[in-house]
Structure 1
Amino acid sequence: MPVRHDEDSADPFEGRLGAALRQAGDGFATDGAALVTAGQARGRRLRLRRRAAVLGGAASLTLVGVGGALVLPGSGGGGDGASGASPAASAQRAAATDAPVTAEAMLTTLRSLLPEGDVSQERSGDGSQGSAFATVVFDDGQGGGAVAVSVDRLQPGGDDADQMTACPDKTAVAYDSCDSTELGDGSALMLMQGYEYPDRRVDTKLWRADLVTPEGYHVSVNEWNAEAEKDAPVTRPEPPLTLAQLRTIATADAWRAAAASLPENPKGVPDDGGTRPEVPPVTGPPVLQVLTDLLPDGVEVVSQEGGDSVEYGYVIVDDGDGRSLVSVQVQTGMADVAGDLFGPDDETLGDGTRVAERQRPGEKGGAGVVWWSVDTLRPGPNGERVIVDAFNSEAQHTAATREEPALTMAQLREIALDPRWFN
């Protein structure tokens, strides 16, 4: 998705969904192009991050620092050797020993799957906290590039599984190619060639493969044409592994075995031991239907995305002075995180509706981009929230096409407060 709505919250892709692409470069990228705010309840945060991953193409891991050390929950130290067993055999072993995959096993497996070349700057973490990873710098003789793999478990058949392998919307993130396919065993695989920075201010390329099996095993393999994800010089024109090699690594049985050994949490119980709050479904007309009806006269819709979704949609409009992106997100169940979304200086209307108006620079680095938004929360137990955003560009990661968005703040406010969103 093109935008995020919490200036001060933690990285919206922390935890298992990490970054996501992601999340994939800054936008399906690791610093996250999320449309929604992460609240205090972990269950709510996970729900919103899943939504952010759909069009954001989010990566499920983040490399930082010297040598591309991976930062993931529960990173830890080594142990025994790699597992090359079949998924079924590994699952039986895990059930018998109750021992998650070790950090050493992750590294050993990654080394065994790489083609001939030099491997250095190794880092890894075990699966004791629900995810495991390994990262190295791999040099085939043409320059070193960071290569990283992570494994975790998702709810089989859930939204996470679908969204992790969905190609991102090009309005949200720039990439050269993306292909999402279903394999013979029912697994979903996404292969993408993209960039670390959506505005391409540095020509660091990010190529990735994400696999989700019918059992909910999630494998993510990422590579860069630099020895670290960020703040490292480009060492070669392209990352060291081809897409075919990424596919081979991602689909290796050993990773499924590793995922099978991880602690299972199929009900999505929050880390603090609480229960996931029940979230009422969004009911109402499709977002695009309402949004296009509410647009002011004099603006032409040149493209749109959202289909029949009642939760999210966007249009690119042109009033004759340049194209402008306008997006809407509709949420429910947000009453318990109102304190995280609105501050004491934000407006409260007579009926109790909270309203926050924001004008800020676009966060994805597009030259001269500004981001205007109106965030609203209706009173009542359903916690009905509508966020409307507008940019002075066609996408948040592209250069400005005009001085200001095509819609004024007053027009954005009128759209956000319209009663039709939930009728």
Structure 2
Amino acid sequence: MGKDGDTHMDLKVDEQELTRAMGVAVGGVEAPTRDLVAGATRRGRGLRTRRRAAVLAGACALIAVGVGVPQWGEGSSPSASPGVVSPGTNGSGPGKVTIPDFSKLPKGPPPPPPGEVQRTGRATAALLKELLPRGKVSGAYAGQDATAEDLYLLFARLSIGAPPMEQEAQINVQSAFGPGSTHEQLVDFYSCKSRVEPGEFCRATNLDDGSVLLLFERRNGELIERNADLLRIDGTRLTAGAANGADVEDGPVVGTKPPLTLKQLKSIVTSDKWTLYVDPEVNERAKQLEPYEPYN
């Protein structure tokens, strides 16, 4: 890929920003990591061919039943003390990131603060819309509420543009991803070698607070998929993706490039507005978002 002028322009900006701060093995047999990682941002459950998000296949302990996470943005944050180093690339050679230490985070689910409730899938889609760059026209919203099976997983998607050139963007929010994982699993997961093929772009960096950010772009024929995958120091994972297709993973291709740059995807996942619990009014206001398709 490397010769796409728009991509290089985006990455040049990203490089300036990110200079400050994005092989699971089972029984000794290396699994097809690229496919497994892709599966971690997709969800099946009969939603056409969409395989939405939850966990790295073959590493089910990442988000296990009964594993909780402290409330996002509340309480004391864990320090980003040195953990396990994971290989990354910066466009010019190998780099490395340090995985935060999640060992001291509580494992049980936190109660909501007084007067607050869990964010709905619809409110997740509404926030994704709010965080789009100025001038981006969106529609065809969809989302998934947390369920008994996936208590701390939220998913939303929307289309950008007008028919018949609508392109998809999506967000997955997973709490407990850090504390529900081992360092070894996270090292594999937040490695560029598990995300892209040779010649595709990927950069892994630590942000100022110790969070880990992966920015990468993949190609499948004419389909171009861009992703920002953030592992926050509170253990929450946020991954935003966009493609030049009507569906991020499956197409068909409807444009020459994705509707969002890597810099814009980074801005979405690093927003401090992503919280698990919200005032009930947030969910109530989101009911005005139309047209909306619930995935539950």
Could you say whether these structures have the same fold, taking a TM-score greater than 0.5 normalized by the shorter chain as the test?
Answer: yes
Kindly indicate whether residue 188 of structure 2 is the aligned counterpart of residue 155 of structure 1.
Answer: no
Kindly indicate whether residue 191 of structure 2 is the aligned counterpart of residue 205 of structure 1.
Answer: no
Note the residue ranges of structure 2 that are not aligned, 5 or more in a row: 1-22, 55-70, 76-108, 280-296
Give the partner amino acid of 2:212: A
Contact 2:167 2:247 in 1 (8 A): yes
- Alpha-carbon deviation of 1:136? 0.9
What's the counterpart of residue 94 of structure 1? 112
Q: Which deviations, in whole Å up to 9, do the C-alpha atoms of 1:41-94 show, x marking residues without a partner?
A: xxxxxxx99x75866671332278999866456xxxxxxxxxxx98238x9883
Contact 1:212 1:219 in 2 (8 A): yes
Give the partner amino acid of 2:197: V
Kindly indicate whether residue 249 of structure 2 is the aligned counterpart of residue 225 of structure 1.
Answer: no
What's the counterpart of residue 165 of structure 1? 190
What's the counterpart of residue 392 of structure 1? none
Give the partner amino acid of 1:193: E
Change (3 A) 1:237 1:142: farther
What's the counterpart of residue 122 of structure 2? 104
Give the alignment's Cα RMSD to 1 decimal: 4.0
In 2, the alpha carbon distance for the partners of 1:68 and 1:136 equals: 16
Contact 1:70 1:133 in 2 (8 A): no
Change (3 A) 1:70 1:104: farther
TM-score normalised by L of structure 1: 0.40
- Within the candidate set 91, 115, 124, 2:143 is matched to 124
In 2, the alpha carbon distance for the partners of 1:232 and 1:219 equals: 22
Q: How many residues align?
A: 199
Kindly indicate whether residue 269 of structure 2 is the aligned counterpart of residue 250 of structure 1.
Answer: yes
- Alpha-carbon deviation of 1:253? 1.2
Contact 2:117 2:277 in 1 (8 A): no
- Alpha-carbon deviation of 1:124? 0.2
3-state DSSP of counterpart to 1:206:
strand
* Aligned-residue identity in percent: 22
3-state DSSP of counterpart to 2:37:
coil
3-state DSSP of counterpart to 1:192:
strand
Q: Which deviations, in whole Å up to 9, do the C-alpha atoms of 1:378-411 show, x marking residues without a partner?
A: xxxxxxxxxxxxxxxxxxxxxxxxxxxxxxxxxx
- Alpha-carbon deviation of 1:246? 0.7
Contact 1:56 1:173 in 2 (8 A): no
What's the counterpart of residue 292 of structure 1? none
In 2, the alpha carbon distance for the partners of 1:118 and 1:126 equals: 24
3-state DSSP of counterpart to 1:62:
coil
Which gives a bigger RCO, structure 1 or 2 (Cα 8 Å, sep 6+)? 2
3-state DSSP of counterpart to 1:111:
helix
Q: Which deviations, in whole Å up to 9, do the C-alpha atoms of 1:226-277 show, x marking residues without a partner?
A: 011355321111111011101100111122x13899xxxxxxxxxxxxxxxx
In 2, the alpha carbon distance for the partners of 1:87 and 1:204 equals: 36
In 1, the alpha carbon distance for the partners of 2:241 and 2:53 equals: 14
In 2, the alpha carbon distance for the partners of 1:62 and 1:174 equals: 23
- Within the candidate set 203, 207, 231, 1:183 is matched to 207
TM-score normalised by L of structure 2: 0.55
What's the counterpart of residue 113 of structure 1? 131
Kindly indicate whether residue 42 of structure 2 is the aligned counterpart of residue 62 of structure 1.
Answer: yes
Report matched runs for 1:19-418 at 5 Å: 36=26, 52=31, 58-59=37-38, 60-62=40-42, 71-72=52-53, 87-88=73-74, 94-96=112-114, 99-115=117-133, 116-128=135-147, 129=150, 130-139=152-161, 143-153=165-175, 154-156=177-179, 158-159=182-183, 160-168=185-193, 173-174=197-198, 176-195=200-219, 197=220, 202-255=221-274, 257-258=275-276
What's the counterpart of residue 12 of structure 2? none
Q: Which deviations, in whole Å up to 9, do the C-alpha atoms of 1:187-207 show, x marking residues without a partner?
A: 000000112x3xxxx311111
Contact 1:133 1:149 in 2 (8 A): yes
- Alpha-carbon deviation of 1:36? 3.9
What's the counterpart of residue 351 of structure 1? none
Change (3 A) 1:259 1:132: farther
Contact 2:72 2:234 in 1 (8 A): no
Greater radius of gyration (CA): 1
